[in-house]
Amino acid sequence: MKVSYNWLRELIDFEADHAKLAELFTMSGSEVEAIEPKGQEISGIVSARILEVNPHPNADKLTLCLIDNGKEKIRLVCGAPNARPGINVLVGMVDSVIAGGRRLDKVKIRGVESCGMILAEDELGISGDHAGIIELPDEIKPGTSLEKIAKLDDWIYELEITPNRPDCLSHYGMAREIKALLGGRIKYPKITINEISSPTADELTIEIADPQGCPRYTGRLVSNVKVGPSPLWLKSRLFYLGMRPINNIVDITNYIMLETGQPLHAFDYRHFRTKKVVVRKAVAGEKFITLDNTERSLTENHLLITDGEKGMALAGIMGGQNSEVAADTKQILLESAYFNPVVIRYGAKAVGLSTESSQRFERGVDINMAPFANDRACQLIAQLADGQIHKGIIDCYPKKFVPAIIEFRPQRARSLLGLEIPNPIMKDILNGLDIPYTDGPVLKITQPSFRPDLTREVDLIEEIARIHGLDKIPESYRPGGSLLKEPDPSFKIRNQVRALLVGMGFVETFPLTLIDSDMLKKLDNTIEAMNLQNPLSEELSGLRPDLIITMMKTLRHNINYGNKDIRLFDIGTAFIPSSETLPVEKELLCLGITGKTNPTSWRNPDKTVDFFSLKGILETLLSHLNINEIELIPQNYPYFDTDYSFTLSGNRNILGRMGKVAAAVGKQAGLKQEVYIAELNMAMLTSLALEEKHFKPLPKFPGSDRDIALIVDENIQAAAIMDSIRQSAGILLEDLFPFDLYQGQNIPPGKKSIAFRICYRCPERTLTDDEVDGMTKNIIDILAREYGATLRT
């Protein structure tokens, strides 16, 4: 909301310049988002009277005006259609400064010299209007300085008012904040209304059919108004505060709204044929044309101001086109009402409108302000539009405001805030905020009608804190250890995995969990993602059901940007649809590798990663986590190439899957390189990694190694051979691994050469060569029998 510094100064005396006041507002909860200087550059503008208007010799649309500026008579070139002899105008002479900081100079316009200009509103920055020059009232003498006609210099604050503080949406409300912060008294305008003898009640009855939606409605009639432009001060004030001046009647209603916070509406009363106001719910499907000339289709939740027959205004939101104040309007009905915030919020949203009026009603206006604001507006209408006010206000108030009565314990405030604030200061703050109370050890506080947010003790404690100043609250340090007795172990293991992977050259990624659900279907139609009802775009339309889909996207981005040799990982949530209310959220670890096995260097082999690169990485990682006995079980996953698609298990538990992204999938996903991906279940890793570790004594006796190179059929798996070796060697086998694999020259087709190192050790004694050779011979015999293996010589 916008607030004028000068207007506040008119309402209350205080000592704070515009910058200091802004800080006070921000630090008490009304954040000043911007401060805009207005009209401060303008200087040297005076009033003048046009004496003669003559045609410009060289231009049809221009005129030469002879003006009297109080000091001298001079000729100025003017282009305004409303320039005519006898009117009072504002002029800037040479060296005067107009809005935007432009200094006026002697200029030649179409061959004629002009020593100044007659000003339009935009040139003073008080509206965007350049249609004609400003016309001043007749009584202003030529040569009167602009400052005496309208005070245009000001500071305008843009405030962020939190939704709980409707009272701050007015100058009265912000003046009250100043009063609470700095002391002083608010100078509310004195209202004196000269009513004519004709009673309002003779010509107006008000009927509220929906007291829930409209607890209070006041109306006054003003006759014989002269609709016309508003005076300069009023126009400029509205314009500075972000409202477009329209005519004196509408401008006054807006002005009073900015002053009091009470939205008002002026109807042209001649259109109320029945001479009554009926406030009722709209009928579903009822059509109504608002004054922005748009037909609105209403629901039964809208509230409508009617004359008993047809709609006249969409209550609290916008007036109707059929009763808009026009140039020839003579009699107006002035509405000042209280509408239910929920009804207005719903109604405004349903028709897609948000107006100054609806924004205030939505948050809750002061129900007791309605009659005052009505009177105040009538007073101004009498002053500025010559209106005659009918006798009496009609105040229909079927649903009275019931204030909350709150018990306030000063000690509770002190302990909740951790602040030693004495009782008298708290009472000063309550007084400053116009919050009434009866004194005692516990204060009995009556909720003011302008503060719908104050219903509980804790709400009042907040008032004390924010006005006293949050900066006065000390910092206290409570020592303390962990209070939950069951810490979640997953954090520890997750961090261990992250550290290991980073050490192995992996870059940690953190992708969006939102995916393109259509793309997912193209890549793997066997899984279903949960879709958003209101996605921002196709690209972000669902929740990832696995981490492979996002890993492929991250790989694609990097490969496309030239990062071709990379190892990436992602630990995060996958969302699996479920019949329960919420999906199953699974924490997974995803690894993705592509490109070279090492950075390009004179020292590194120039090799590209393959399936075994990934398997090797997994072996290292898992072994660090105390997970061994890694097994791959062939299984088809749609993401993976059928030759390289496996379920991964460790310590006889399923850990996840790994494979090479299938060519078709990679193409669809935009991957320009071969990539290998593994996806593991973090919960399983965590539970396996958390198994207790127990010390094994270090060997006291030396071990013996034997290497055997075998030639076997190429489709015999290493695991089978190794199983046989293990069985045969029994407990004396300490370690066993393949160290060479070869096919090609000297090896018959369909065969492969595979060499194992067999490490024997006995914990109790040194094994003799004979023993070791005997066991090895035995192994070779068994392998020959079981697999037809021969020794490679």
Partner 1 sequence: MNDILNDIKTFEAEAIARLNSVLDKQALDALKIELLGRKGKLADFSKAISKVSDEMRPQIGAAVNRLRKLFEEHIASKEQTFASAVKKQTIDYTLPVRADFLGHKHPLLQTVDDIVDIFKSMGFEIASGPDVETDYYNFDALNTPEDHPARDLSDTFYLKKGVLLRTHTSPVQIRTMEKHKPPVRIIAPGRCYRSDYPDASHSPVFYQCEGLYVDEGVSMADLKGVITAFARTMFGKDIKVRFRPHFFPFTEPSVEYDFSCVICGGKGCRVCKNNGWLEISGAGMVDPEVFRAVGYDSEKYTGYAFGMGVDRITLLRYRIDDIRLLYENDVRFIRQF
Chain positions 501 to 530 lying near partner 1, rule: CB under 8 A, are 501-514, 530
Subset of residues 30 to 59 that bind partner 1, contact rule: CB under 8 A: 31
Q: Please identify, using beta-carbon distances, which residue of 505 and 763 lies nearer to partner 1.
A: 505
Q: Does 440 bind partner 1 (CB under 8 A)?
A: no
Q: Report the 10 Å Cβ neighbour count for 234.
A: 20
Least distance in Å: CB of 177 to partner 1? Answer: 11
Return the C-alpha torsion angle 504, 510, 514, 517, nearest 10: -20
Least distance in Å: CB of 259 to partner 1? Answer: 24
Least distance in Å: CB of 524 to partner 1? Answer: 20
Distance between CA atoms of 645 and 659, rounded to whole angstroms?
4
Q: Which helix (H) or strand (E) holds 200?
A: helix 200-203
Subset of residues 117 to 146 that bind partner 1, contact rule: CB under 8 A: none
User: Residues with Cβ < 8 Å from 467, sequence gap 6 or more?
Assistant: 28, 180, 181, 429, 432, 433
Least distance in Å: CB of 687 to partner 1? Answer: 17
Asked if residues 172 and 376 have their Cβ atoms less than 8 Å apart, the reply is no
Which residue from 38, 64, 539, 48 is spatially nearest to 239, judged by alpha carbons?
38
Q: Which residue has 């349903």 as its token pair?
A: 350
Q: Does 579 bind partner 1 (CB under 8 A)?
A: no
Least distance in Å: CB of 128 to partner 1? Answer: 28
Least distance in Å: CB of 608 to partner 1? Answer: 14
Subset of residues 375 to 414 that bind partner 1, contact rule: CB under 8 A: none
Q: Which two tokens stand for residue 227?
A: 């609709």
Q: Which two tokens stand for residue 527?
A: 């899984």
User: Residue 250 to residues 134, 174, 518, 536, 646: CA-CA distances in angstroms?
Assistant: 19, 23, 54, 40, 76
Q: Does 546 bind partner 1 (CB under 8 A)?
A: no
Q: Please identify, using beta-carbon distances, which residue of 319 and 542 lies nearer to partner 1.
A: 542
Q: Which of 327, 402, 484, 698 binds partner 1 (CB under 8 A)?
A: 484
Q: Which two tokens stand for residue 63?
A: 């005129």
Q: Please identify, using beta-carbon distances, which residue of 99 and 419 lies nearer to partner 1.
A: 419
Q: Which residue has 């090479």 as its token pair?
A: 660
Q: Does 168 bind partner 1 (CB under 8 A)?
A: no
Least distance in Å: CB of 419 to partner 1? Answer: 7
Size of the site for partner 1 (CB under 8 A): 88
Distance between CA atoms of 404 and 400, rounded to whole angstroms?
13
Q: Does 652 bind partner 1 (CB under 8 A)?
A: no
Q: Please identify, using beta-carbon distances, which residue of 446 and 598 lies nearer to partner 1.
A: 598
Q: Does 352 bind partner 1 (CB under 8 A)?
A: no
DSSP code at position 413: H
Q: Does 441 bind partner 1 (CB under 8 A)?
A: no
E runs forming strands in 458-545: 507-508, 514-515, 530-531, 542-543
Phi, psi of 151 (to 5 degrees): -85, 105
Least distance in Å: CB of 340 to partner 1? Answer: 12
Q: Please identify, using beta-carbon distances, which residue of 271 and 498 lies nearer to partner 1.
A: 498
Q: Which of 585, 691, 713, 740 binds partner 1 (CB under 8 A)?
A: 585
Q: Which of 177, 324, 462, 524 binds partner 1 (CB under 8 A)?
A: 462
DSSP code at position 506: P
Q: Please identify, using beta-carbon distances, which residue of 9 and 456 lies nearer to partner 1.
A: 456
Distance between CA atoms of 312 and 212, rounded to whole angstroms?
20
Least distance in Å: CB of 182 to partner 1? Answer: 16
Q: Which of 285, 440, 441, 480 binds partner 1 (CB under 8 A)?
A: 480
Least distance in Å: CB of 494 to partner 1? Answer: 10
418: left (phi over 0), alpha (psi -120 to 50) or beta: left
Least distance in Å: CB of 482 to partner 1? Answer: 5
Q: Please identify, using beta-carbon distances, which residue of 456 and 624 lies nearer to partner 1.
A: 456
Subset of residues 586 to 625 that bind partner 1, contact rule: CB under 8 A: 598-604
Q: Report the 10 Å Cβ neighbour count for 368.
A: 15
Provide the b/e sequence for 519-548 (b: ≥16 CB within 10 Å).
bbeebbeebebeeeeeeeeeeebbbbbbbb
Give the residues across from 405 on adjacent strands: 446
User: Residue 685 to residues 191, 492, 494, 617: CA-CA distances in angstroms?
Assistant: 78, 12, 9, 15
Q: Does 706 bind partner 1 (CB under 8 A)?
A: no
Which residue from 328, 159, 307, 131 is spatially nearest to 228, judged by alpha carbons?
328
Q: Which of 461, 669, 712, 789 binds partner 1 (CB under 8 A)?
A: 461
Residue 746 CB-density burial (10 A; 0-12 exposed, 13-18 middle, 19+ buried): exposed
Q: Does 766 bind partner 1 (CB under 8 A)?
A: no
Subset of residues 178 to 207 that bind partner 1, contact rule: CB under 8 A: none
Least distance in Å: CB of 300 to partner 1? Answer: 17
Q: Which of 101, 285, 424, 479 binds partner 1 (CB under 8 A)?
A: 479
Q: Which of 298, 566, 617, 780 binds partner 1 (CB under 8 A)?
A: 566
By CB under 8 A, which span of 112-120, 209-217, 290-298, 481-489 interacts with partner 1? 481-489
Least distance in Å: CB of 532 to partner 1? Answer: 5
Q: Which of 192, 197, 293, 581 binds partner 1 (CB under 8 A)?
A: 581
Q: Does 690 bind partner 1 (CB under 8 A)?
A: no
Q: Which of 532, 633, 663, 791 binds partner 1 (CB under 8 A)?
A: 532
Q: Does 350 bind partner 1 (CB under 8 A)?
A: no
Least distance in Å: CB of 665 to partner 1? Answer: 20
Give the residues across from 119 on adjacent strands: none
Q: Please identify, using beta-carbon distances, which residue of 370 and 669 lies nearer to partner 1.
A: 669
